[in-house]
Chains A and B, each alone.
Chain A
Amino acid sequence: MAKPVALECRGVTKTFGRVVANKNCDLQVYRGEILAILGENGSGKTTLMNMVAGIYYPDAGQIFVDGQEVTIASPKDAFAYKIGMIHQHFKLVDVFTACENVALGVEDEGRYRLADVRKKVIEITQRYGFVIDPDKRVADMSVSEKQTVEIIKVLYRGADILILDEPTAVLTPQETDKLFAVLRRMREDNKSVIIITHKLHEVLSLSDRVAVLRKGESVGTVNTADANESSLTEMMMGVKVELNIERSEPKDPQERLKVENLHSVNEEGRTVLDGISFTAYSGEILGIAGIAGSGQRELLEAIAGLHHLTEGDIFYQDPKTGETEDLRDKNPIQIRDLGVRLSFVPEDRLGMGLVGNMDIVDNMMLRSYQKGRGFFLHRREPRDLAVNIVEELQVATPNVSTPVRQLSGGNVQKVLVGREIAAAPTVLMAAYPVRGLDVNASYTIYNLLNRQKEQGVAVIFVGEDLDVLMELCDRIMVINSGRVTGIVDGRTARKDEIGLLMTKSKEEMQNGEN
């Protein structure tokens, strides 16, 4: 039984300057199927879909909808062909309700009547099994609810072909299951669903077929039933790779960093850290898991001396002298002057860890420019360090005088991690260090962290991929709304157990204690 082809791309090409994002890409999507587009970061998945959705205009190639060649020059054109895309970054108005956001920008005939919109929204939610309050303001919504509004927005405009760009990146395992149920119902309703992802197990559990992209080119499309993890990885990478992270037993763990009862508020006065306590030991990797925005960033920034605490203490145990220092309310310079060798790879690489417009040498200097006497900068040492890091970590760059903004994501991260490790830290904190990196670059980073652990560094790793956390970390601390909801052993923990901890509320915690 052949299903009709809903959307087809033929020979689609798009270049950005020197970078070829897509080259001669072919793709077919049938009515009533879920197609997964799989590929490493930078393989051109999102760019290809952006061309279908009218965000970019292809340099060459053709797009067909229902067998007719079409020109899609804007998102409006895309909607005319009933194509809708849900982007990774939501485009919602915070002060509006779900309904108001859905109504926004729709040019219906006749008068604007919110009641009609509301009725239709409720109809859509019932049809596909969404759980959403149409009158809730976006500002009060969770990430998963916001995503639901984005999907309803697209359905409201009558989309038959839905494209979702990495929809599960921000969801807990439980929320992901709910989303997948909704997507399956759409398939039954004869819609075409395209889901962009790089998570293999999602591809296998959800999709009917998988289209694989590698370095901007389409490698091929396979039926999900005929595929497994290793065959897909091989298609994605071009070579067979072993995807095991080595994990050694911690050697001689000693208390290195003891965090007690941290409290803090953000600029709007909302509580972001609500009594966090934990201990990080030398020679182990402590993972931190949690839904995005649970206080991970503030926790690391508080330890690094960048985030003000209203309460709590951070004790650092010096491995050489054995003395204990309280790092609370000290700025990064004061912390360094105490002889505390604390390195920090922040989440925002180009906005905090590095300066995009500066070259590699000047970025090396960020940590060390004050060294040396006198008024003038000393660029020789940073230059040597830059050359070393480029060589050792195989950073792909024309030379060390290239602005880091021009490097790819993986290379940017190598420069940053390389610099932080070069300081010979005793505590190394890394926030989402592999976000946006391809498989190879990710493994380079895992190996670097593992090597630090073996050298006796206390490594704190904030991650979002639970599979990686469970393979890499010795212990995993789960936080939610600025509270620790549990610390589990990385070797024995189960994913659903961590998932539940990620959403455990304050009340549930207290009930559990009683």
Chain B
Amino acid sequence: MENAIEVNNLVKDFGSLRAVDNVSFTVRRGEVLGFLGPNGAGKSTTMKMITGFLEPTRGTVSLCGHDVREEPIAAKRVLGYLPEGAPAYGEMTPRSFLNFIADIRGLKGSNRKERIDDVVKKIHIEGVMEQPIETLSKGFKRRVGMAQAILHDPEVLIMDEPTDGLDPNQKHEVRTLIKEMAKDKAIIISTHILEEVDAVCDRAIIIAKGKLLFDGTPTELIAKSKYHNAVALVMNTGQCEAARMVLLDLPSVLSVEIEELPAGLSQLLIIPKDGQSIVATISDLAHEKGWEISQLMVETGRIDEVFRDVTIGAPDKLTEEEHLT
């Protein structure tokens, strides 16, 4: 059983609106899948169907071999889920809330105590265990929701925007935690923080208007950027027009963008054709022409730009076509 999560041809209609349109993908154990998409793209709806909360109009989902609709209880046993906004019973304390979850999950005896202690320590909620959840800050609420999701050490972990509303340190902690847990679990996280995909995910999926538009590694996603392997040069503004002409003559260069910086400097952003590596050529050329270069950087690509391209269609059709020829 390689694939812990299998999603096949999932369709969800709300009245005449098709919220999710024929989405299929799989997640292996040991893999973290990042679920991307603009708001209202069908991310949460898809997650709600995977977790069995919503019934799909068509299609199937299986978690560790258990079909979510045929064997809902068996599927939910292997699942840990953090719903969007981390809902929890506000009047309960984190301790009583986790005890309730442990009851439902059938955790008993010493194992139960061990699991609760372990999770509380991992998530760092020791200090708020006796406060009503409704009085906690957003960050702590989110953490209590995560604690609930991983309490039974599930094989499948699904988290809808786990780092939303956390401060940078908390985000870092949550990402570290996800990476730690990734070894023996299949994890899906949805997010619209794009750097998160690069930081924690092995694979990314982009959904927009209910359709699956991209499925690949973050590296592949970045490679789709026209800024992938682009080179940024900073030099005197006086020299840059001439340099641009020279650079545009290179067969590997697609275009050069000039941006003026303070103190008489300008930045040339040299965009390569087909994302090929041009840094060696350019540094040789700079040497040969004797340009005074105060900075040279290679861009890996701009994930937010790829995201825009994929989700609202290429904004720059002409370059895209040139790029392909």
Q: Do A and B bind each other?
A: no
Which residues from chain A sit less than 8 Å from chain B, CB to CB?
Answer: none
Which residues from chain B sit less than 8 Å from chain A, CB to CB?
Answer: none
